[in-house]
Amino acid sequence: MTNFFFESPEEAIKKSYETAKITLQVGKAKKPKLRVYCYQDIMLPVLLYGLNFKWSSEELLKPLNILLHEDANGVLIKTLTIWFKNNLIMSETAKELFIHRNTLDYRLKRISDITKLDLLTIESKVLLYVALQLKN
């Protein structure tokens, strides 16, 4: 019986090297003020790194690019970014943005209208979150 979870020492070293190399690249891009980067701290952006060079990244980025084009002053992108940073918690997001909860609702509705994504669905939220990770 073949064990698909077994890596030879050479494969493990190669994988570790590639992971470290990409972690360093992504870390410098995402957190340029830091000098040390840990894979576990930026795992999702590191894992998504390979998508940057494929047609699928263009598809993932379409709604976000539309939003960027329509959001001249960057308020909606900032709102979306802070919303995700606060784990979609409306009160925390409104507090950090120094806005009323109704204003946050309005902005999220505008994001939904512009991107044609229903932010009540997990799929749309994930799509926009992944797009933000790819863009930054």
CATH of the domain at 70: 1.10.10.2840
Residues 116 and 59 in one domain: yes
Residues 65 and 131 in one domain: yes
- Residue 77 maps to a domain: yes
How many domains are there within the chain? Answer: 2
Distance CA 86, CA 114 (A): 22
- Residue 2 maps to a domain: no
Confidence band (pLDDT; 50, 70, 90) for 105?
very high
pLDDT for 29-42, tens place per residue?
888 999 899 999 98
**Alpha carbon separation from 30 to 35, 90, 111 (Å, rounded):** 12, 25, 23
| Closest to 44 measured CA to CA, from 115, 126, 121 | 126
Place of tokens 């999702």: 44
Place of tokens 């918690």: 89
Full-prediction pTM beyond 0.85? no
Residues 65 and 42 in one domain: no
- Residue 1 maps to a domain: no
pLDDT for 48-79, tens place per residue?
887 777 788 888 899 999 999 999 999 999 99
Question: What residues make up the domain containing 64?
Answer: 54-135
